[in-house]
């Protein structure tokens, strides 16, 4: 538990890990609170506006019954089981039950197509999957190609003959269940990387990872939890940002979570939800914040009052931070992490200055540095690779069935992130870009993040992605793919104004010599722009292929 202090140094230096030998996430996030029979755990609102509420006592009984039913269906300790569900009571119940059984969860995005699902279910050798009527057809289409998958469970709707019914299983199961005694080092879930740098790899995480996340939740949420805190995120619970940055840590602290995720994010609806349920804390991906920023005068229609917003995945920049203070009444705290080693850098406005464009400082409990190719920390202001020192309880055990990829991630005792950054003399980290996102132009090494941040300040720019485009003279030139704001008509005058805007604010070698206006950008399911697709498009275009 973080101890609040007056300064960042006080907080960082006073922190110590307390990781027990035996620890089970399912017991921790549910059973330990269930003696308080009416302690609220979940508020679920479906797309029609219908609301259901569940206490920790309810979740314990339901997860026990499901665990018994899963065991009868053939699921055993160590088996991998996919959860292919949107934010819902069934998703939460399945997480708790599987952890208490000692099974290994495979979180799966509902937006996945059959190829993506087949790869993850096949690679993990999943024994079972829990899904709903919307996603069941995708599972059934690939079932014959998944020899390990024996148990399919449907949460809603009438199941086919070879599929179990979730609620029938719960209704028949005993509400008494003895959780498996797991060690903190025992496996709990496999979370697949987003695939921005090649085929997705399965980050194999232990039960201890939840404890490893806690300072990364408390810090950017200004010493969460406080009385009356209530958490929500529009992020899918299949993403680390959904279930490990919000759902499970909130339940660890006995704090209720709002479950609601529409098929398409609606910023006006987001403001309505914040006000309706009195949400005090949220993890909001930058894309969602950018969309909410375009809502005019939301306070005139929605009586919301938030305490904290955390954001990560892309740099927010000065404009979004200013909007957060003006419209949300708070300083948005940024944080940085990866599927494999999450929430290791961040800001906490309560104890430190938030510097626009910076990811913040090392979160208490984590040793984070910028290192060179030999694994030696570099001087302040020098570009290097972000690395995390092991051992660290938030660090994955390994890549599932991929020892070579696991070895490649370590240099001495440093986990290499593949992300380039600078660390200033005050300990703030400044993101430069992915190693494979770097733009080499006329001898300059240029990261896209700073240019994108500058472009977002231009009144004509709604969203942007910057990549290096091949050039015979300069090796590469900076190219910007821009989604214009509503009401803006792209043209030569707008394009020239944007170029001058960057040239004046950054540097002559950093302005986008090429600009292409587009209606959409390629993104992962977690809302990160896939720059490599744009770069591949440019290479193909200029090679004449």
Which DSSP string corresponds to 465-477? EEEEEEETTTEEE
- Of 297, 325, 293, nearest to 309 (Cα)? 325
Per-residue pLDDT at 264: 83
- Check which CATH number belongs to the domain holding 539 and give it: 3.30.300.30
DSSP 8-state assignment for residue 326: I
Domain endpoint, select from 188, 207, 226? 207
What's the number of domains the chain is made of? 2
Query: CB–CB of 59/42 below 8 Å?
Result: yes
Per-residue pLDDT at 545: 59
183 forms beta bridges with 22
> Does the pLDDT value for residue 197 go beyond 90?
no
> Does the pLDDT value for residue 126 go beyond 60?
yes
Per-residue pLDDT at 524: 80
Average confidence (pLDDT) over 444-448: 77
Q: CA 279 to CA 258: how far, in whole Å? A: 8
> Does the pLDDT value for residue 314 go beyond 90?
no
Query: CB–CB of 256/42 below 8 Å?
Result: yes
Beta strands in 394-539 (DSSP E): 398-399, 410-411, 414-423, 429-434, 439-441, 444-446, 461-471, 475-484, 514-517
pLDDT band per the 50, 70, 90 thresholds, residue 198: low
27-63 tens-digit pLDDT: 999 999 999 999 999 999 998 999 999 999 999 999 9
**Residue 530 placed within a domain:** yes
Average confidence (pLDDT) over 366-382: 96
Q: Which residues of 124-154 are buried (b: 16+ CB within 10 A; e: fewer)?
A: bebbbbbbbeebbebbeebbeebeebebbbb
**Residue 42 placed within a domain:** yes
Cα torsion 72, 73, 77, 82: sign: negative
Q: CA 76 to CA 67: how far, in whole Å? A: 10
Average confidence (pLDDT) over 318-343: 95
Cα torsion 217, 218, 221, 225: sign: positive
- Of 395, 434, 460, nearest to 532 (Cα)? 434
| Average pLDDT taken over every residue of the chain | 93
> Does the pLDDT value for residue 275 go beyond 70?
yes
**Residue 70 placed within a domain:** yes
Share of the chain above pLDDT 90, in %: 80
Supply 326's token pair.
């003006």
Q: CA 437 to CA 177: how far, in whole Å? A: 50
> Does the pLDDT value for residue 237 go beyond 70?
yes
> Does the pLDDT value for residue 387 go beyond 60?
yes
Supply 290's token pair.
């950018």
Query: CB–CB of 347/361 below 8 Å?
Result: yes
Element housing 164 (H / E):
strand 164-165
**Residue 155 placed within a domain:** yes
Reduced to 3 DSSP states, what percent helix, strand and coil does the chain have, rounded to the nearest 5? Answer: 30, 25, 45
Sheet holding 308-311, edge to edge: 51-55, 40-45, 257-259, 231-232, 281-283, 308-311, 333-336, 345-346, 361-362
> Does the pLDDT value for residue 415 go beyond 60?
yes
Per-residue pLDDT at 510: 84
Q: CA 37 to CA 29: how far, in whole Å? A: 15
Domain endpoint, select from 158, 182, 207? 207
> Does the pLDDT value for residue 471 go beyond 90?
no
154-192 tens-digit pLDDT: 998 889 999 999 999 999 999 999 999 999 999 999 999
> Does the pLDDT value for residue 196 go beyond 70?
no
- Of 153, 141, 148, nearest to 117 (Cα)? 141
Per-residue pLDDT at 384: 96
- Of 60, 64, 54, 62, nearest to 32 (Cα)? 60
Supply 89's token pair.
């009571």
Average confidence (pLDDT) over 334-342: 95
Q: State the alpha helices, DSSP H only, in 294-341.
A: 317-323
Angle, CA of 225, 310 and 221, to the nearest 5°: 25
Per-residue pLDDT at 443: 65
Range of the domain at 184: 23-207
- Check which CATH number belongs to the domain holding 105 and give it: 3.40.50.12780
**Residue 105 placed within a domain:** yes
Per-residue pLDDT at 195: 56
Q: CA 510 to CA 448: how far, in whole Å? A: 9
Cis geometry, peptide bond prior to residue 391 (ω within 30 degrees of 0):
yes
Domain endpoint, select from 207, 228, 255? 207
- Of 419, 435, 512, 433, nearest to 474 (Cα)? 512
pLDDT band per the 50, 70, 90 thresholds, residue 13: very high
**Residue 535 placed within a domain:** yes
**Residue 465 placed within a domain:** yes
**Residue 182 placed within a domain:** yes
Average confidence (pLDDT) over 198-225: 94
251-272 tens-digit pLDDT: 999 999 999 978 788 999 999 9
């Amino acid at each position: 538990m973080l101890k609040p202090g007056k300064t960042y140094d006080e907080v960082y230096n006073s922190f110590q890990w307390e990781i027990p030998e035996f620890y089970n996430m399912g017991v921790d996030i549910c059973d330990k609170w269930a003696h308080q029979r009416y302690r609220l755990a979940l508020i679920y609102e479906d797309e029609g506006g219908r609301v259901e509420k569940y206490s920790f006592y309810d979740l314990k009984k339901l997860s026990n019954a499901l665990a018994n039913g899963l065991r009868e269906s053939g699921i055993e300790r160590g088996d991998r089981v996919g959860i292919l569900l949107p934010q819902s009571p069934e998703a939460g119940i399945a997480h708790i039950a599987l952890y208490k059984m000692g099974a290994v969860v495979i979180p799966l995005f509902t937006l996945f197509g059959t190829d993506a699902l087949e790869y993850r279910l096949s690679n993990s050798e999943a024994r079972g999957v829990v899904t709903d009527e919307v996603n069941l057809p995708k599972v059934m289409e690939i079932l014959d190609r998944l020899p390990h998958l024996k148990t399919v469970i449907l949460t809603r709707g009438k199941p086919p003959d070879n599929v179990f019914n979730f609620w029938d299983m719960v209704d028949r199961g005993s509400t008494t269940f003895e959780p498996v005694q797991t060690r903190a080092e025992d496996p709990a879930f496999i979370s697949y990387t987003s695939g921005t740098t090649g085929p997705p790899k399965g980050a194999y995480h232990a039960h201890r990872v939840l404890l490893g996340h806690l300072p990364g939740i408390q810090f950017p949420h200004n010493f969460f939890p406080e009385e009356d805190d209530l958490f929500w995120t529009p992020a899918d619970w299949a993403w680390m940002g959904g279930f490990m940055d919000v759902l499970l840590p909130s339940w660890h602290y006995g704090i209720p979570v709002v479950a609601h995720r529409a098929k398409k994010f609606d910023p006006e609806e987001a403001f309505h939800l914040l006000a309706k349920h009195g949400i005090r804390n949220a993890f909001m991906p930058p894309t969602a914040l950018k969309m909410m920023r375009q809502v005019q005068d939301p306070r005139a229609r929605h009586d919301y009052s938030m305490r904290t917003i955390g954001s990560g995945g892309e740099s927010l920049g000065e404009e979004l931070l200013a909007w957060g203070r003006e419209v949300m009444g708070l300083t948005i705290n940024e944080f940085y992490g990866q599927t494999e080693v999450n929430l290791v850098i961040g800001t906490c406005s309560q104890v430190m200055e938030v510097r626009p464009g910076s990811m913040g400082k090392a979160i208490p409990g984590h040793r984070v540095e910028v290192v060179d190719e030999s694994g030696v920390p570099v001087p302040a202001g020098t570009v290097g690779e972000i690395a995390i020192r092991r051992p660290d309880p938030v660090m994955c055990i390994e890549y599932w069935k991929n020892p070579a990829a696991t070895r490649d991630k370590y240099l001495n005792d440093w986990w290499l992130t593949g992300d380039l950054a600078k660390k200033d003399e005050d300990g703030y980290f400044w993101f430069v870009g992915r190693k494979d996102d770097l733009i080499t132009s006329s001898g300059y090494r240029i990261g896209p993040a700073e240019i994108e941040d500058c472009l977002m300040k231009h009144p004509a720019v709604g969203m942007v992605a910057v990549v290096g485009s091949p050039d015979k003279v300069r090796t590469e030139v900076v190219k910007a793919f821009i989604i214009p704001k509503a009401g803006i008509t792209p043209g030569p005058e707008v394009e020239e104004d944007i170029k001058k805007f960057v040239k004046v604010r950054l540097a002559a070698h950093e302005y986008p010599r090429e600009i292409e206006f587009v209606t959409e950008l390629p993104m992962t399911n977690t809302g990160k722009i896939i720059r490599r697709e744009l770069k591949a498009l440019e290479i193909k275009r200029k090679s004449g292929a």
